[in-house]
Amino acid sequence: MTDPPVRPAPTTAPAIVKHTRQGDVLLVQMDDGKANALSPEMLSSLDAALAAAEKDAKALVLTGREGRFSAGFDLKHMMAGPDSARALVRQGAEVLMRLYLHPQPVVVACSGHALAGGALLVLCGDVRVGAQGAFKIGLNEVSIGMPLPILAHELARDRLDPRHFLAATLFAAQYLPERAVDVGYLDRLVEPEQLVPSAILQAEELTRLPAEPYALTKRSIRRGVAEHIRATVDANIREFTGG
């Protein structure tokens, strides 16, 4: 009687968003092995990480893989038809608003290129620390033949230096990290190897502020922008996709 053939154990794909506790801070890292596109899976994983931070931590640090923060909405889904594009943008808008209004301190550690929806993730941070390097940050939609949605230009209006608003939105300007600080995408730069430690330290410092007043004040400051985006997102999507 022969032994049954040995079947290989099923393999599990690595998580594209990992989160680990670093003291009182939840470190959230996007890494799909490529450009960290905002696919439905990536957005769902980010949403779960936000929930985990509220439950188990006092602050959140969001980063990407070395050289790539996020390339924005996944073009595979955006080009799969109007229904697919609409669903992805709606999901993305809601996750971005949850990040923007997240009650805890949020420090974005921009690890590399951050374009389109990736730049919007950066804009949602309370503090934005960037890695030095030849990286591009910006809302490039118009330059690639896509209109810039209300979601994007209202986040840009809220967070960027008004002197650079038109260039950053209508003219689709993209910036190296040093220039991105002046424009308002980033607050400061560090060497790449210091990016995550510096962001965690910044988040720890923010946890010293009383949590409830911090959350209430952030919501008060940002509620108007978030309500406008949520109220207009569906009509704006229909306008751009024709349905």
Q: What is the pLDDT of residue 53?
A: 97
- Note the pTM of the prediction, 2 decimals: 0.92
Lookup: tokens for 124 = 């949602």
Lookup: tokens for 195 = 């990016």
pLDDT single digits (tens) 52-86: 999 999 999 999 999 999 999 988 887 777 788 88
Q: What is the pLDDT of residue 82?
A: 77
The helix/strand count (H/E) of the chain reads as 9, 10
Q: Give the contacts of 49 (CB within 8 A, at least 6 positions apart).
A: 17, 19, 26, 28, 60
